[in-house]
Copies of this chain bind each other. A is one copy, B any other.
Amino acid sequence: MRHFTSAYDVPDLPKLLDAALAFKKQPRFRENLGQGRTLGMVFLNPSTRTRISTQIAARNLGMETIVFNASSDGWSLEFGDADVVMNGASVEHIREAARVFGEYFDVLAVRSFPNLQNRDEDFSEKILKQFIEHAGIPVVSLESATLHPLQSFADLLTIKELHLEKRPPRIALTWAPHLKPLPQCVANSFAQWILAWGGAELTIACPPGHELDKKFTAGAKITHDQNAALAGADFVYVKNWSATEPYGQLICDDQNWLLDPEKLAKTNRAKVMHCLPVRRNLELSSAILDSPDAVVVQQAGNRVWAAQAVLAEILKFDT
């Protein structure tokens, strides 16, 4: 694996899951794999869990990390054509910036959110793609315009750890209310990974206008009826995302979508997942979050082992 930007970059998903679980048991068993190599972490948007878990993962492999926060360094990148006349606010073109990062680092990790203004632009993944095109080194997505693969890999890992029955787990991904129009990345990516894995039944429930792109959800059952999705589910993934039509907007404020213990009772004693940060009693009820049904902290913890398996795979490939 050279780059890691989606489930479809992974040549052997079951093997990568096993590698992550092996690191969870013995975090340092490959502690020299990244010796003398540096992971550059470029944040065009803020990060908590992703940054910290990836730094720990890198160090478990003996890699150094260097963090570059574009905003706090007042550094505005240009992603326009090569021939753009740069007489505006942006101070450096991605063509130079990425090539220079390629000189300094051995692996480059990049976070860049969608702007939620222009669907085609976001779906083109032009920022992530330009980093890959120009850096000349392996690139790991720390969340891009449409996907959040390290999150989804950790989510899948959590499901694999918790689902001990032989039959495929029944998974419901359900939309939740929020105050702000959020990216669709986590939801798109969760669907993509569950479907790429192939070992589960996935139902996605959302209000009209919030249907995710089929590119990510083909193979899942889509419904506007949350109760139907919850019925008999083994896992419920709770997440808000902004509308798909009109793109990127906040069009539904129906508080009935909030998951509470009464709704959870319709499931098969489901474990409740969320990528965090979560707004209590807006997205998800505190009664659930403070109960053993919620596995959100386990998910967050698994971010380390997911990132470590990914970095190890890239280091092995690239050596």
Contact = CB atoms under 8 A, between A and B. Distances in A.
A83 B49 CA distance: 23
Interface stretch (A6-14, A87-95, A165-173, A243-251): A87-95
A282 B68 contact: no
A66 B48 CA distance: 11
Interface string A101-120: 01110000000000000000
Q: Classify the interface of chain A: helix, strand, loop or mixed.
A: mixed
Contacts of A66: 52, 55-56
Given A52-B66, A103-B297, A96 B278 contact: yes
A223 interface: no
Interface stretch (A72-80, A140-148, A228-236, A264-272): A72-80
Given A59-B64, A104-B301, A92 B278 contact: yes
A105 to B, nearest CB: 8
Interface residues of A, number: 57
A301 B100 CA distance: 7
B68 A40 contact: no
Given A100-B297, A104-B304, A95 B55 contact: no
Contacts of A31: 36
B53 A104 contact: yes
A311 B39 CA distance: 22
Contacts of A282: 85-87
Contacts of A279: 86-87, 91
A27 B38 contact: no
A286 B64 CA distance: 34
Interface string A37-56: 01010000011110011011
Given A87-B179, A103-B304, 12 more contacts: A49-B100, A52-B66, A78-B280, A84-B280, A85-B281, A92-B278, A95-B290, A96-B289, A96-B296, A100-B297, A100-B300, A103-B301
Interface of A: 27-28, 31, 36, 38, 40, 46-49, 52-53, 55-56, 59, 64, 66, 68-69, 72-75, 78, 82-87, 91-93, 95-97, 99-100, 102-104, 179, 276-282, 286, 289-290, 296-297, 300-301, 304
